[in-house]
């Protein structure tokens, strides 16, 4: 397994080197900083379809190339906690007519700190009898050493038995950060690599002119980076559009006692309009956010796979430093074609969030020329 992992990682390093080679023609690129993943048990979440075969019931996945159905009894990529729970859970689902009837999917969400949340998805309406059966299941699993919260989902239905979130604890340069991670909201899937990403971002902005002013963050999610980076800045203003992520971010700000962080519920596009004074937004007033009180000199972005839109790229070019984390190096390079006209790349990193897949997570630090 180790040699197979090393081989796929080496291929990614070559590929990202080729993608960035064009940005080093007139000036030297910084050396690539490489952050490895564990070879097994690295994924904190996993989703499986459930296959009904007579009296039998088991997890399946589909081969992406052939669409062939594959039975899954163990899943080495998933966390040790998920792998331990998988057989215990499917045995109990298999033995319960109430719980197994028309179930078609099971989603697991785990944490490095040991929390576990399981979502059961059905092609039928759920009722009090189902809810009572899950409460019994939860108690049985607890007796076996598994503390699990459950969510039941059906068309226009959501039952919560326990909590609909987990609490993760990530270590960043020896400091612990607490994060509420809500079911069906984006979270970093690889916990150990997520810690490395946070440490890299903190190191990029520590002990330099980058930390003299305030930090603006776009696409902040649940405040994952905002909270860790806050130690390096006077104030942090982060933006996010998804309501569940904003609510989680507010919870995380309170849990981490981050008094210098505020979250604005705006898209990156709308925030660009607000910064230019082209429109006033009630949400900013409601959250007591006065943009003129901030002295931004660094902007952090972690956009979706599509990258940043043209207007947002132009807006971030106004700042001295741009810290950019990307889950899609292709769109990152597209944005860099514009950003490198005004800024130069001073740090370059690759994070292997998704071992054994084509996906690459990259990070760049850019400073004004």
Strands (DSSP E) along the chain, which ranges? 32-35, 45-53, 56-62, 69-72, 103-110, 116-122, 149-154, 157-161, 165-172, 175-182, 214-218, 236-239, 261-264, 296-301, 321-326, 343-351, 361-368
Residue 257 annotated to the active site: no
Coil, helix or strand for 250?
helix
Residue 340 annotated to the active site: no
Q: How far apart are the first and last CA of the chain?
A: 44
* CB-CB contact of 99 with 93 (8 Å): yes
Query: How far, in Å, CA of 317 to CA of 313, rounded?
Result: 6
For residue 35, the tally of other CB atoms under 10 A from its CB is 18
Given 204, 220, 327, 333, which residue is catalytic? Answer: 327
Q: Which residue has the tokens 């996993």?
A: 46
Given 168, 240, 247, 361, which residue is catalytic? Answer: 361
Which helix (H) or strand (E) segment holds residue 79: the answer is none
Spatial neighbors of 351 by CB under 8 A, at least 6 apart, are 35, 193, 196, 197, 200, 361, 362, 363
Spatial neighbors of 341 by CB under 8 A, at least 6 apart, are none
Residues belonging to the active site: 327, 361
């Amino acid at each position: 397994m180790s040699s197979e992992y090393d081989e796929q990682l080496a291929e990614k390093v070559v590929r990202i080197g080729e993608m960035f080679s064009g940005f080093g023609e007139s000036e030297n690129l910084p050396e690539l900083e490489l952050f490895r993943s564990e070879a097994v048990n690295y994924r904190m979440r996993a989703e499986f379809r459930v296959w009904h075969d007579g009296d039998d019931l088991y997890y399946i996945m589909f081969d992406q190339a052939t669409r062939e159905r594959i039975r899954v009894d163990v899943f080495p990529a998933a966390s040790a906690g998920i792998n331990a729970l998988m057989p215990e859970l499917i045995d109990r689902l298999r033995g319960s007519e109430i719980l197994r009837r028309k179930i078609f999917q099971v989603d697991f969400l785990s944490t490095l700190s040991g929390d576990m949340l399981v979502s059961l998805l059905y092609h039928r309406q759920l009722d009090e009898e189902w809810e009572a059966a899950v409460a019994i299941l939860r108690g049985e699993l607890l007796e076996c050493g598994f503390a699990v919260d459950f969510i039941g989902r059906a068309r226009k239905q959501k039952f919560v038995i326990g909590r609909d979130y987990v609490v993760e604890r990530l270590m960043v340069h020896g400091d612990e950060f607490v994060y509420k991670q809500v079911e069906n909201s984006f979270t970093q899937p690889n916990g150990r690599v997520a810690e490395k990403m946070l440490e890299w971002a903190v190191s990029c902005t520590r002990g330099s002119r980058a930390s003299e002013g305030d930090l603006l963050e776009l696409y902040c999610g649940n405040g994952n980076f905002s909270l860790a980076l806050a130690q390096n800045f006077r104030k942090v203003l982060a933006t996010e559009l998804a309501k569940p992520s904003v609510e989680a971010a507010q919870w995380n700000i309170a849990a981490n006692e981050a008094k210098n962080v505020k979250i604005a519920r705006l898209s990156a596009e709308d925030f660009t309009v607000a910064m230019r004074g082209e429109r006033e937004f009630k949400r900013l007033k409601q959250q007591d956010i006065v943009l003129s009180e901030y002295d931004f000199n660094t902007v952090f972005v972690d956009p979706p796979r599509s990258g940043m839109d043209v207007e947002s790229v132009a807006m971030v070019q106004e700042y001295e430093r741009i810290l950019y984390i990307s889950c899609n190096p292709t769109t990152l390079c597209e944005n860099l074609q514009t950003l490198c006209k005004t800024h130069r790349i001073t740090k370059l990193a690759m994070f292997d969030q998704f071992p054994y897949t084509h996906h690459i997570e990259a990070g760049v630090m850019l400073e004004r020329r």
